[in-house]
Structure 1
């Protein structure tokens, strides 16, 4: 087992997490483990599964990542899109990352940080 890096949080077990934003923080720590081939579409699928499980277990947790949910609505404005994309947030971030010459996963977490920082944005914990 490797030693923890000073200042970098230790990965946690899923049972230790209390919401989707904490889960995304775990994905950020080890994206290669969670996001196959750096495809945000895979991450989107994981998040849909998370939302379905939350509904089944009646957690009452708000979910920001549905296709036309709060994150998508914010993203369309942030990317300067006049109308919602039929392709979804994952594809649009992948397209924006390609145009900017950056990695999609890196861009997605940068955008997520902006979204979280918005007044009235989602509570992380």
Structure 2
């Protein structure tokens, strides 16, 4: 998750350590990864990522499958989700003055903050 005191650096995708590190690279250069700004392309990339992780038995949890943790969280925040997936939900609900890609990363940051808070609450008595 980006923070003001943590500089973000462009690096090769092979040097990414997990899905969130990879997503930071997309955030830094969205035009390179999503030439038309479509979240459907991002959703397809993340499905491919999750399939590769599963095929190679890598223990990197990826919450972006349709119906996965991110979709469930998003459904609560958008008052329901569409059978078309989280990309359609975000594109349909992007506020004026923002782009779907910007809105995805805003929601991703909120999701990560909420899940970190929930995890901390479970660990703390």
TM range (shorter): 0.7 to 0.9
The aligned residue for residue 83 of structure 2 is: 86
User: For the Cα contact (< 8 Å) 2:82–2:88, is it kept in 1?
Assistant: no
The aligned residue for residue 48 of structure 1 is: 47
Q: Deviations over 1:67-88 (max 9, x none)?
A: 000000000000122xx42010
Residue 33 of structure 1: CA displacement?
0.4
Residues 66-77 of structure 1 aligned to structure 2 (within 5 Å): 66-77=65-76
- Tell me, which stretches of 5 or more residues in structure 1 are unaligned? 1-6
SS at match of 2:48: helix
- Tell me, which stretches of 5 or more residues in structure 2 are unaligned? 1-5, 120-125
The aligned residue for residue 106 of structure 2 is: 110
Consecutive aligned runs of 4 or more in structure 1 exceeding 2 Å deviation: 7-10
Q: C-alpha root-mean-square deviation of aligned residues, in Å?
A: 1.4
SS at match of 2:41: helix
2:99 pairs with 1:95:
no
Higher RCO (CA-CA < 8 Å; seq separation 6+): 1
The aligned residue for residue 21 of structure 1 is: 20
Q: Deviations over 1:47-73 (max 9, x none)?
A: 111111111111021110010000000
The aligned residue for residue 37 of structure 1 is: 36
Q: Deviations over 1:16-49 (max 9, x none)?
A: 1111011001100000000131000000000111
SS at match of 2:59: coil
> Aligned residue pairs: how many?
111
Q: Deviations over 1:86-120 (max 9, x none)?
A: 010001100001xx212100000000000000123
TM-score calculated relative to the size of structure 2 = 0.83
User: For the Cα contact (< 8 Å) 1:36–1:42, is it kept in 2?
Assistant: no
The aligned residue for residue 120 of structure 1 is: 118
